[in-house]
Amino acid sequence: MSCGRYSCPIALVNAPIDIVWQFLASPAEYAAWTDAEFLRAEPSGAAAEGQKIFFRTRALGRWWPVVMEVGTVDPPHGLELRVQLPLGIINSEHINVLPLGRRETRVSFN
């Protein structure tokens, strides 16, 4: 029997889709919303399929590694991330971006 928790948060961003996509395509910017310190991306550069992004986060008095592997990238509509968290936790993240006009964008995480 498998048990899981599912959450699909949605944010409305007061910015056009191209600005939102620039933020999502820049792995160093992920530290702004991950509660982790960006270390490096291999290979460096914009988010690309197969790229690995290395972070560290601090909890319980120590540093913990976090690794994101970029899956499918569909500019400017979305990307997939496989997130390896401490203690063997794996999170498959699908980020979808949808313009709601010239100045507003919906970003969903599921």
**Which two three-digit tokens encode residue 102?**
């010239």
Buried b (16+ CB within 10 A) or exposed e, 27-50: beebeeeeebebeebeeeebbeee
Evaluate whether 31 touches 38 at the Cβ level (below 8 Å). yes
**Number of H helices and number of E strands within the chain?**
2, 7
Q: What average pLDDT does the segment 27-32 reach?
A: 92
CA distance 52 to 61: 26
Fold (CATH) for 10-109: Alpha-D-Glucose-1,6-Bisphosphate; Chain A, domain 4 (3.30.530)
Q: What average pLDDT does the segment 48-60 reach?
A: 96
pLDDT computed for residue 51 by the predictor: 98
Q: What average pLDDT does the segment 13-25 reach?
A: 95
Question: In this predicted model, which residue has the larger pLDDT, 110 or 24?
Answer: 24
User: Is the pTM above the cut of 0.75?
Assistant: yes
